[in-house]
A and B are shown apart, each in its own frame.
Chain A
Amino acid sequence: MNRDPADIISAIVRPLVIRWAASVLLATAVLVGINLLWLVPVSSTVRSAASVLTLETADRVRTNIELHLNTAIEALTNTAEEIGIESDRRDLLLARLLKTSAALEWVAVADTVGAEQRRFDRTRMVRPGEARDYSRQTAFYLALEGAPNIGDVFVSPALEPHAILAVPLRRLGKIDGVLMAELNMRNLLKVVRELRVKEGLIYVVDRQGFQILHSDFSEVLLRKNFFNRPIVQKVILDIHIADGLSPDDRYRNERGVPVFAAGMPIAVAGGLGVFVEQPRRQALATERQMILLALATTLLGVFAFILIIRSRRRIEEANIRLHDLLFEIDGAGKMLVRRDLELSEANSQLREIDRIKSEFVSVAAHQLRTPLTGIKWTVNALLAGEFGQLSKTHTSTLRAVLETANRLVVLIGDLLNVARLEEGRYGLETEARSPEALIRSFAERFEAVAEEAGISFSLALTPKPLPAFSHDPQSLGIILENLLENAVQYTRRGGTISVAVRESDTALTISVSDTGIGIPRREQVKMFTKFFRAPNAQKLQPNGTGLGLYLAKNIVERNRGAMTFESAEGQGSTFTVVLPRSKLNTG
């Protein structure tokens, strides 16, 4: 089971490499293929053009050589014929031949065994004892067989290319001697020198492959042999034109430079061959440029392809990541929906529990209020002395009991009201009347309480009597009760409470301001929550229920009004209630 790490890496890397390499190989193959589509015909055209140019040069050399040699052979043949007809004028004809053919160094007549009978030399007089023997000259024997011919080219003592010419001498149709001559081929040197191509050269070889002419004649003196070059054999043995386009025509020259060469056979002197060569980089420079262009475009194409592949891979990876993200979001969304359903269900359950609780509170409150009323009635009867005179201690204790019972009555009343509100059973019993009397009665009641506590109390009503409008006096009473009771309870002795009532066409605004302990800023957000009491309030009045403001605000809102407050700890608070008149009117 334990796999070699190298195997694991190989298993991961190999498919990637194969995929990458395969893609790049395919792209390269396609690009190479596309480039080959234009490169092959262009290359072929360039090579053909180079071949034509090179062959044209070779052909000009060939024409010059054939013309030069054939002219000399023709002159010899004509003279031989004239000698055959007029043998007594032989010397005159030989002298004339030498005079009219500037390229001939000497002319001579030999008998059938090669012994020289007469010779004229361009440079000097030939003496009788200087007769030559031509019996070892190949050209002599071919002429003896009836074939005018040119012997091998050789280098003269003056370092010029020379060749022996021989034509048969016939008398009465029978060969009875040979007319021999030595031809100077220096003019041909000039031809191969002048026709040479750029950075190239021209050379001529004989049938054995020996170089007999060259753009640089010093090369000829080295007697080089190029028979082993396939192109040379093709030309001098097969008598075929080598156009330079065949693989056989390629070779490296003596300096090891690859050359572009073309060759042509020359049908004289036993078969010669002329070759024109040029460095391939020069002859096929255009082709090389085209190849480089194709190479560059291929490389650029491959590079671009790699970039595209890389970009595509990145996009694919981004897509995968996006897909994963969407999948996660989808999962989260489904989870939220599930949670929402769960919360809704929990909320319903809570509502049900709240409703049950409210019902329980309502029932409990009702059930508590009845015995509490009995307790209050009994305590009041005791305090009234209906059951006998009480001592001061008993009276004091009973008064404490009554006070506690009263707080419980208030608490139960608040709980019942809260339960009604939350159960939606809090009904409004509206009637069209002016609230002024109600406001004044509460002001008077709490003014007395305030005076008792050493607090200054003031009521500011509008100058005109408040008009009648539809409202629930009990609700307004609960609101005023809670606001004024809080003001009195949380204002220290010496403080002030002021009640202001403003009226407009659309609303009735009642504000209760005090200079009490105020509400700490951080606690203000929880001000209207059920059972909330600020710490400073608890410290001042431990017996509060924390339901008053909650109840008042909910009743205001039940009447489609709004309740706000402003407060600063230690400086006092102002609670403002706005009740819309139209709404009140509609009741």
Chain B
Amino acid sequence: MKSKFFISIFVIVVVAIATVALVQKKSSGPQRMYKVGILARGASATYMSSIEGFKKKMAALGYTEGETVTYDIRIVDAKEDLPKAVDAFIAASVDLIHTYSTPATQAAYKATRNLPAPIPIVFGSLGDPLNAGVVKNIQRPDTNVTGVASLSTELTAKRLELLRDVDPAVKRVAVPRSTAELNDAASLRSIEIATETAARLGIELVLYPVRSADEHAAVAKEITRTEVDGIIIPADSLIFAGISHYVAQSLKEKLPLAGFDITQVEGGALVGFGPDYETMGEQSALLAHQILRGRSPAVIAVEVPKKLLLMLNQKTARAIGIAFPDALVRSADVVIDE
């Protein structure tokens, strides 16, 4: 009788110690399985590299895919299909929505902001969150949205200046863009900035409206050397998705093209200035980690890219007969010469 009593005490002590040890071990990592919905407009290589950066950093933060996190990645080309993807995320009760592009973020915000418990949204690339209407303040969003602004709208001016620095003779510059009817806020703002900068630099902008992804090839063919001296890519997710058509056309017509991402420069764009999208993906992961730990996105300041790159493609320069100024080459972060 006596020995049973002591065995019981011993068992209770062992169980208590094991429980404490288990609780302490658990507290060091994610406590459960999280579901993250990732929504991008257009299967651009830019977004893909950012998504990879996001997943890589999440893994580094302890979220093992299949064990403590699952990703539902949806790439949507048509803007009108974005709400359906968001509804699918809501139906699946995802813990967080990670978006790429202004339309994707707006669709997610619109569908979730009035939910009893709005699903937090972290955008991984969005030109101007204030202009897109998804945050009320950069330093304190006060909505269920926060993320990393890609600066693609602000950098439109920089890309135009860059094109002028490469070839000071540039006078007419082509800008493919979503049609105004599509009402892409980033695109509209980007064109606004480009117009102001062009006016300051004495350059004329030639706008090439695109209604859908199907029109990229046809629109790109319209951009010829007889019409323009160069091309810049605005902050426009529709154009990002069809960037290859415009790069190919620039090579064909021997026109300098200013893009914003390493994948575009690697693909043949003459110059590029923009964020390192992989690093942006990592920044997004850190924000997502904060939110999954319990912090509200409403109080997490919007970030800007930690790393901005100036990229040059010497091969393209030779192909189209342009020589980069020495100062520009010296300040470049990436020079592609293969």
A142 at the interface (CB under 8 A from B): yes
In the bound complex, do residue B293 and residue A147 qualify as a contact, i.e. CB atoms below 8 Å apart?
no
New A-B pairs, 12, CB < 8 Å, besides A239-B295, A248-B28: A21-B6, A22-B3, A25-B6, A112-B154, A113-B197, A141-B154, A141-B305, A144-B154, A145-B138, A237-B293, A238-B290, A247-B27
Interface size range on B against A: 35 or more
Taken residue by residue from 259 to 301, chain B's Cβ proximity to chain A (1 for < 8 Å, 0 otherwise) reads as 0000000000000010000000000001001100111000101
Give 27 pairs: A residue, B residue, CB < 8 Å, sorted on A.
A18-B3, A19-B2, A21-B6, A22-B6, A25-B6, A25-B10, A26-B6, A112-B157, A113-B161, A133-B331, A135-B273, A136-B310, A138-B304, A141-B154, A142-B304, A144-B154, A145-B302, A145-B304, A147-B139, A149-B139, A207-B286, A233-B293, A237-B289, A238-B293, A238-B295, A248-B28, A270-B303
Answer whether residue B216 sits at the interface, using C-beta atoms and an 8 A cutoff: no
**Contact residues, A141-175 vs B (CB, 8 A):** 141-142, 144-147, 149
Please tell me if A114 contacts chain B, counting CB pairs below 8 Å: yes
| Contact call A238/B301, Cβ cutoff below 8 A | no
User: B252 an interface residue at 8 Å Cβ cutoff?
Assistant: no
Q: Is A146 touching B308 in the complex (CB atoms < 8 A)?
A: no
Min distance, Cβ A235 to any Cβ of chain B, angstroms: 12
Residue of A nearest to B3 (CB): A18
Bound CA–CA A207/B286 (angstroms) = 10
Task: Report the bound CA distance from A147 to B306 in whole Å.
Answer: 16
Chain B, 15-35, contact with A by CB distance < 8 Å: what is the 0/1 string? Answer: 000000000100110000000
Q: Whole-angstrom distance between the alpha carbons of A208 and B10 in the complex?
A: 46
Residues of A within 8 A of B254 (CB): none
Q: How far is the CA of A136 from the CA of B311 in the complex (A)?
A: 13
* A230 contacts partner chain B, Cβ-Cβ < 8 Å: yes
In the A-B complex, the 8 residue pairs with the smallest Cβ-Cβ separation, listed nearest first, are A136-B308, A141-B304, A237-B290, A145-B138, A147-B138, A22-B6, A147-B139, A113-B157
B interface residues, Cβ below 8 angstroms from A: 2-3, 5-6, 9-10, 24, 27-28, 130, 138-139, 149, 151, 154, 157-158, 161, 197, 273, 286, 289-290, 293-295, 299, 301-306, 308, 310, 331
**What 1/0 mask marks residues of chain A from 252 to 282 whose CB sits below 8 Å from any chain B CB?**
0000000000000000001100000000000
CB distance from A140 to the nearest CB of B (A): 9
Residue of B10, B149, B286, B305 near A237 (CB, 8 A) is: B286
Which one of B27, B273, B294, B301 contacts A270 once the chains associate, using CB atoms below 8 Å? B301
User: When the two chains form their complex, are residues B305 and A146 in contact, meaning their CB atoms are under 8 A apart?
Assistant: no
Per-residue 0/1 for A531-543: is the Cβ within 8 Å of any B Cβ (1 yes, 0 no)? 0000000000000
**A230 vs B151: C-alpha distance in the bound complex, in angstroms?**
32
Contact indicator per residue, chain A 173-217, by CB within 8 Å of chain B (1) or not (0): 000000000000000000000000000000000011000000000
A19 — which chain B residues lie within 8 A by C-beta? Answer: 2
Q: Which residues of A contact B157 (CB under 8 A)?
A: 112-113
> Is A29 on the interface with B (CB-CB < 8 A)?
yes
Q: A138-B304, A138-B306, A270-B301 are in contact. Are A146 and B138 (CB under 8 A)?
A: yes
Q: A138-B304, A142-B138, A247-B24 are in contact. Are A113 and B9 (CB under 8 A)?
A: no
Q: Which residue of B lies closest to A25 (CB)?
A: B6
CB contact under 8 A between A230 and B28, given known A112-B157, A238-B290: yes
Q: Which residues of B contact A230 (CB under 8 A)?
A: 27-28
Beyond A22-B3, A142-B304, A145-B130, whether A135 also contacts B289 by CB under 8 A is: no
Residue of A nearest to B309 (CB): A136
Closest B residue to A136 by beta carbon equals: B308
CA–CA, A135 to B6, complex, Å?
73
Which residues in A have their C-beta under 8 angstroms from that of B161?
113
A290 to B188, CA, bound (A): 70
CA distance A18 to B5 in the complex (A): 12
Q: Which residues in chain A, 97-152, are within 8 Å of chain B measured between CB atoms?
A: 112-114, 133, 135-136, 138, 141-142, 144-147, 149
Pick from B273, B286, B295, B302 the residue with the most CB of A within 10 Å: B286
Would A135 and B28 count as touching, CB distance under 8 A? no
What is the interface residue range for chain A against chain B?
A: 20 to 34
How near does chain B come to A14, taking the closest CB pair, in angstroms?
10
Q: Nearest chain-B residue to A23 (Cβ)?
A: B2
Contacts of A144 in B (CB 8 A): 154
- Minimal beta-carbon separation of A97 from chain B (angstroms): 23
> Whole-angstrom distance between the alpha carbons of A545 and B54 in the complex?
141
CB atoms of A29 and B9 under 8 A apart: yes
Q: How far is the CB of A232 from chain B (nearest CB, A)?
A: 13
Q: Which residues 215-250 of A have a CB within 8 angstroms of B? A: 230, 233, 237-239, 247-248
Q: Is there an interface contact between A113 and B158, defined as CB atoms closer than 8 Å? A: yes
The 8 A CB mask of A8-36 against B (1 = contact, 0 = none) is: 00000000001101100110010000000
Query: Roughly how many angstroms separate A237 CA and B285 CA in the complex, as a whole number?
Result: 12
Q: What does the 1/0 interface line of A552-580 toward B look like (CB < 8 Å)?
A: 00000000000000000000000000000
Distance of A112 Cα from B192 Cα, bound (Å): 14
Least distance between B310 CB and chain A CB atoms (Å): 8
* Residue in chain A with minimal CB distance to B282: A208
Contact with B along A293-323 (1 / 0, CB 8 A): 0000000000000000000000000000000
Q: Which residue of A lies closest to B306 (CB)?
A: A138
Task: Give the shortest distance, in Å, between A431 (CB) and chain B (any CB).
Answer: 92
| Contact A22 B28, beta carbon cutoff 8 Å | no
Complex CA gap A18/B157 in Å reads 86
Can you name the residue of chain B whose Cβ is closest to the Cβ of A135? B158
B-chain residues with CB within 8 Å of residue A248 when the two chains form the complex = 27-28
How far, in Å, is A11 (CB) from chain B's closest CB?
Answer: 15
A52 vs B113: C-alpha distance when bound (angstroms): 41
Q: How far is the CA of A55 from the CA of B270 in the complex (A)?
A: 55
Closest-CB distance, B30 to chain A (whole angstroms): 12
How far does the alpha carbon of A233 sit from the alpha carbon of B30 in the complex, in Å? 13
Closest to B13 in A: A29
Question: Which residues from A are CB-within-8-Å of B138?
Answer: 142, 145-147
Q: Which residues of A contact B299 (CB under 8 A)?
A: 239
Contact B2–A22 (Cβ < 8 Å): yes
The residues of B that contact A29 with a CB separation of less than 8 Å are 9
A145/B290 contact (C-beta < 8 A), A135-B158, A237-B295 known: no
| CB contact under 8 A between A238 and B27, given known A136-B308, A142-B304, A147-B139 | no
CB distance from B153 to the nearest CB of A (A): 10
- Residues in A with CB closer than 8 Å to B303 are 270
Residue numbers in A under 8 Å from B149 (CB-CB): 141, 145
Q: Chain A's nearest CB lies how many Å from the CB of B324?
A: 16
- Interface residue ranges of A316-337 to B (CB < 8 Å): none
- Give A237 Cβ to nearest chain B Cβ, in Å: 5
Most buried by A among B139, B197, B294: B139
Residue in A18, A135, A239 whose CB lies within 8 Å of B308: A135
Asked if B305 contacts A138 (CB within 8 A), the reply is yes
Chain A residues with CB under 8 Å of B286's CB are: 207-208, 237
Complex Cα distance, B303 from A416, in Å, reads: 148
Q: Quick one: closest B residue to A248, CB to CB?
A: B27
Q: Which residues of chain B have C-beta atoms less than 8 A from A26's C-beta? A: 6
A270 to B, closest residue via Cβ = B301
Chain B residues, CB < 8 A from A147: 138-139, 301
Bound-complex Cα distance A25 to B12 (A): 14
Within the assembled complex, what's the spacing in Å between the Cα atoms of A136 and B302? Answer: 17
Chain B residues lying within 8 Å of A22, measured Cβ to Cβ, are: 2-3, 5-6
